[in-house]
Amino acid sequence: MCGICGIIGSTDDRENILKHMMKAIEHRGPDGSESYISKRAALGFQRLSIIDLDTGMQPMFNEDGSKALVFNGEIYNYWILRDMLIQKGHAFQTDSDSEVLLHGYEEFGTDLLIKLRGMFGFAIWDEENEEFFAARDFFGIKPFYYSIIGGVLVFASEIKSILEYPGYQRQLNEDALEQYLSFQYSALPETFFKGIYQLLPGHYLTYKDHMFQVTGYFKPSLKPDRAESVRRMQKDVQNIMKQSVRRHLISDVEVGSFLSGGVDSGLIAAISGCVRTFTVGFSEEGALYDETEDARHLADTLHLKNHCKYIEKKEFEKAIPKVMYYLDEPSGDASAIALYFLAQRAAKDVKVVLSGEGSDELFGGYNIYREPGMLKAVNWLPVNARKKLAKLAKGLPKSVKGRGYLMRAALPVHERYIGNAYIFREEEKARLLKRDVMRQTKDLLCGIYDETAHLEDFEQMQSVDLRYWLPGDILQKADRMSMANSLELRVPFLDWDVFQTARKLPKRMKLKHCTTKYILRKAAACYLPKPAASRKKLGFPVPIRKWIKEEDWYQNIKKTFSNDTARAYFHTEYLLELLEEHKEGNSDNSRKIWTVYVFLIWHQIYFGDCKECKTSKQQAVIRFDTLTAFDYNGNRECTARG
């Protein structure tokens, strides 16, 4: 695991620029750094040593030195590929998985990608042909960003590295803000920074003679097999999970595991036998926000050691700006901050952890997937009748039970579902944003819904989450929060073979009565005690709903909602109305409030008027240790202080 960056093209002072770019992502790889400078390319590498500790340094070169590689991730089937390539005449200089990519690309070209089992964002520069190639893994576990600046291609594992390139002029992408307000994460190929793009999951990029092309090589799609038997699929899931976890344990350093007490992390911990497990919770906020007792009990049952971190309200506040800095783009997912503390705790003892991301998207774990079945109670009514009921329901107070149910029942799935989060609807965004809404959120997803029209509603919902929610929210925060603490996070559920099995699951093996992830729970029952295997999904609960009502948070959020930045983008009277409604208990607006609030904090960090912050974001973030989020009110004054 590491951080990579580079410059392809001619520009002055490349060596010094590259150093600054590498420094910005030093947290991704504090164990060492190296660079390569040629006539047309400059590649940088920050290393977190996991495999082949002695000789796995990068940039790495092929036999004649004509091709150079920088790679972020892990390839779990590299020994198989290595033997194959040796038989074809390639000579290896190291035992690292990185070198397999270099020789594999020489031998197979872009066909290499579908042979890989792992997580990756890598780049190869061909000095002889002056050609650049980069690729990102199937599901988007590892990031890759790029920009064309003055005819020069600049790339990196994180946006903050590209921001160090002096030719880039920061400009907020308001299209990204518009969609963020609904999705709660950056949902577009172009990031929050105008002109900086993410390479999408399952895509590769080529660049030669100032011409670049992005090509998709993989798209996750569901192909349910209605004839599959429960017994056979249960056995298949058990076997592939054992194989996947075993692959994900490949390491020359100790591997630990996150543990929540539920089925996903519990199954991984049980199969792996990792000695150390890690959990966080909010012990002062009640059982709803604290999974530590369940995790501790499960660890004792599995004879594993559990390390627990209790997060206090004050330290949570203090971490908000730091988390927004490491995320690069704003995220309305409050669990990112809890995950930051979890990764921080784990990094004290291990360099690698296993985690359960991807299980819900593959096996049907989100409670919202039960909604199509619940709506059947009124679906027998004609559409016009349902629309009339929805219109009546819309006029009722938000607190009336069943109001939302009747409103959703009038809409087809492609109009009511954009993912696990739907923060602001179109009419709400129109009230909130100063500029006109330029693009309907549902229009972004029309391609997916067209492709999956033959599937059942909940399978269409799954497909949306696989393509958008998983890489945009779940994996983005997992990568940034782990790497912010120089910790490698591995996700055994997002394995090629696991996906090939899960995509065949029919509805009855994912949702049965009120049970989600039915077949996974049956498979896990062989490894876990019944309470863990059957435990209802909680997600990663964070008590912001409660904290926003408390006077200190309320007053500081109110102040932030009235600052210059808020007034520049939003109709602040509407923001304050949402805040008052929540404070009085008339409506739960916590997710709306939080989504806007953290955007404003993020904006102050990356676009604020603090001269020192503009000069060096890396120096500014160090000062976050002495600040809380409430210092960031965006009133055009320097907030970075010693």
Structure tokens at 548: 């926003």
Residue partners of 228: CB distance under 8 A and separation at least 6: 504, 505, 506, 509
DSSP string, 592-640: HHHHHHHHHHHHHHHH-S-HHHHH-HHHHHHGGGG--GGG---SSS---
Contact 330, 191 (CB under 8 A): no
User: Sheet containing 197-198: which strands, arranged edge to edge?
Assistant: 32-37, 41-47, 2-8, 152-156, 145-149, 197-198
Selecting among 2, 5, 274, 610, the annotated active-site residue is 2
Helices (H) and strands (E) in the chain, counts: 30, 19
Bridge partners, residue 310, by sequence? 281
* Three-state DSSP state, 389: helix
Residue 579 to residues 333, 413, 453, 584, 586: CA-CA distances in angstroms?
18, 30, 39, 9, 10
What does DSSP assign to residue 90?
P
- End-to-end Cα spacing for the chain: 32
Q: What share of the chain is helix, strand, coil (3-state, %, to 5)?
A: 45, 15, 35
- Between CA 257 and CA 277 the distance in angstroms is 5
Among this protein's residues, is 2 annotated catalytic?
Answer: yes
Question: What is the chain's length?
Answer: 642
Name the residue among 218, 271, 219, 267 with its Cα closest to residue 246.
Answer: 271
User: To the nearest 10°, the Cα dihedral for 74, 5, 113, 97?
Assistant: -30
Angle at 402 between CA 398 and CA 404, to 5 degrees: 60
| DSSP, res 200 | P
8 Å CB contact between 125 and 6: yes
Task: Report the C-alpha gap between 514 and 501 in whole angstroms.
Answer: 23
Residues taking part in catalysis: 2
